[in-house]
Amino acid sequence: MPRMIFMNDSLVPEHEAKVSVFDHGLLYGDGVFEGLRSYGGRVFRLDAHLDRLYASGRAICLAIPLAKPAMAKAVVDTLAANNLADGYVRLVVTRGAGSLGLDPNKTSHPQVIVIADTISLYPREYYERGLRIVTAATQRTQSAALSPRIKSLNYLNNIMAKLEGLQAGCIEALMLNHKGEVAECTGDNVFAVRQGRLVTPPPDAGILEGITRAAVMELAAAAGIDCREMALVRHDLYTADECFLTGTAAEVIPVVEIDGRVIGSGVPGPVTKRLTDDFHALVRQTGADR
């Protein structure tokens, strides 16, 4: 049975899901997207993801042609059409087809695409033993140039840093901002545990404010763990007791080595394990938004 893709207003077989070669999403990365997870047939924090999608659209003057309720239904229907209770959803909105050239006013018919599939971003062993990562030379795009709060289709900045990590034998890489402060990894937010306190870079460090990041901060507060946003440099991570990453696809994954420095005891620590367990319990709860 072919995979079903939602295109604009209906579900179509994968081989019929096509966009124009003149679509500015393809030509210039002009569009926005979200990645979502479904657990037990319920999409985790769907409202928060859609709020961010529509905010990204407004920020780039892209009028998304579906209203939020219709978009939510498209996500749920696409999962159901592919018989996925536990799955990953990629929701994409492109600027639409137009003439060659940057002018978005010369485009029409933004494309809404919903893809549902399974995903395994990291092998299971990394969740049990922890990741090794390196710092990329590629800096996070400056906020004054492009707001990191816009989840756009142009991910070349992250891809270049990802390549650096892969070339160093690591499947993830740390990115710094123009001030040399820790921003985020190529696809995940960063947390560290220092002297019993959980710390993570603030939005003005040049990060995407992740949905999973916010959930973990809420879980930390509920567990009585002091969690603060603060500017961090690599020294703060090198000398941390624990480090972990968060993301929709990654969930919560420990980091045990950065740039050849062993973090803490070199194995996933107790705070990381506690928040991982709490996150897994959260996503399996019943309720509209968990």
Question: Which residue would you say has higher pLDDT here, 187 or 120?
Answer: 187
Note the pLDDT tens digit of each residue in 146-173: 999 999 999 999 999 999 999 999 999 9
Q: Which of 151, 162, 179, 273 is catalytic?
A: 151
Range(s) within the chain of domains with CATH label 3.20.10.10? 124-283
Provide the pLDDT for residue 290.
Answer: 62
Whether residue 265 has pLDDT greater than 80: yes
Distances (CA, A) of 269 to 218, 243, 244: 19, 8, 9
Residue 51 buriedness (CB in 10 A; 0-12 / 13-18 / 19+): middle
Active site residue 151: yes
Provide the pLDDT for residue 1.
Answer: 80
Note the pLDDT tens digit of each residue in 128-139: 999 999 999 999
Instruction: Give the whole-number percent of the chain exceeding pLDDT 70.
Output: 98
| Fold assignment, 4-117 | D-amino Acid Aminotransferase; Chain A, domain 1 (3.30.470)
Range(s) within the chain of domains with CATH label 3.30.470.10? 4-117
pLDDT interval class at 119 (50, 70, 90): confident
Provide the pLDDT for residue 91.
Answer: 98
Note the pLDDT tens digit of each residue in 276-288: 999 999 998 865 4
Mean of the per-residue pLDDT values for the chain? 96
Q: What strands, in cross-sheet order, belong to the sheet with 42-43?
A: 10-13, 4-7, 112-117, 87-94, 31-39, 42-43
Note the pLDDT tens digit of each residue in 31-50: 999 999 999 999 999 999 99
Note the pLDDT tens digit of each residue in 69-114: 999 999 999 999 999 999 999 999 999 999 999 999 999 999 999 9
Note the pLDDT tens digit of each residue in 196-238: 999 999 999 999 999 999 999 999 999 999 999 999 999 999 9
- CATH assignment, 124-283: 3.20.10.10
Whether residue 121 has pLDDT greater than 80: no
